[in-house]
Amino acid sequence: MKWLLVIIILVPGLLCAEMIEVPREELMEYLARMEKNKVTIEQLTISNLQLQQEKTELEQSVINLESRMNVLSRNKIFVGGNFGYPLLNIDCMLLYQFGGNGLYLLGGYNRGFNINVGYVRRL
C-alpha cells in the first residue's frame, strides 16, 4: 500500500489536504497505462512527421508541374486536335496556342482549308 496526498482547494485561501491509501496494484496499473500512452504518442508523432514530409513532397511536385505547364504555355504548344468522320463533313482540325496571352490558331480541312485565329481570356 502506498499513501497518496490529495490536496483540495475548497475556497480561495482555504486549503485542505487528505492522505488516502491507494493499493500498489492500482498504482502499477496507472503507470502501465501511462507508459502505453507514451508509446502511442511517440508512434503518432512519427506517423505525423512522415505524413507532413509526404505532404511537402506532394506540394513540391505540384509546384514543379505548374512551372512546367507555365513554360509550355509560354511557347507555341500543340493543344489539341480532332479527326472526324467524312459523314460529319469534318476531316481534321488542329489547335495551337501562342504564348500565355490567349491567342490561338484553329486550322482545319473541310473540303478546303480554313484557318481561324481567336483570342481567349481567362475570367
Report pLDDT digits (tens) over 15-28. 566 667 778 888 89
Same domain, 33 and 53: yes
Contact at 8 Å (CB) between 110 and 91?
A: yes
Same domain, 14 and 51: yes
Same domain, 50 and 23: yes
C-alpha span between 92 and 82 (Å, rounded): 6
pLDDT exceeds 80 at position 113: no
Which run of H or E residues covers position 85?
none
Same domain, 33 and 48: yes
* Residue 41: band (very low, low, confident or very high) from pLDDT cuts 50, 70, 90: very high
Cα within 13 Å of Cα(66), Cβ side: 6
| pLDDT confidence of residue 57 | 93
Same domain, 65 and 81: no
Same domain, 12 and 68: yes
pLDDT exceeds 60 at position 14: no
Same domain, 50 and 18: yes
| pLDDT confidence of residue 27 | 84
Which run of H or E residues covers position 41?
helix 24-74
- Total domains in the chain come to 2
Same domain, 66 and 80: no
Same domain, 88 and 48: no
pLDDT exceeds 70 at position 37: yes
Average of per-residue pLDDT across 47-70: 87
Same domain, 10 and 64: yes
Which one of 57, 72, 87 terminates a domain? 72
pLDDT for 26-35, tens place per residue? 889 989 999 9
Average of per-residue pLDDT across 68-89: 59
Same domain, 10 and 35: yes
Q: What domain range is 17 assigned to?
A: 2-72
- Mean pLDDT over each residue of the chain, to the nearest integer: 72
| pLDDT confidence of residue 82 | 57
Percent of all residues in the chain with a pLDDT value above 90, rounded to a whole number = 24
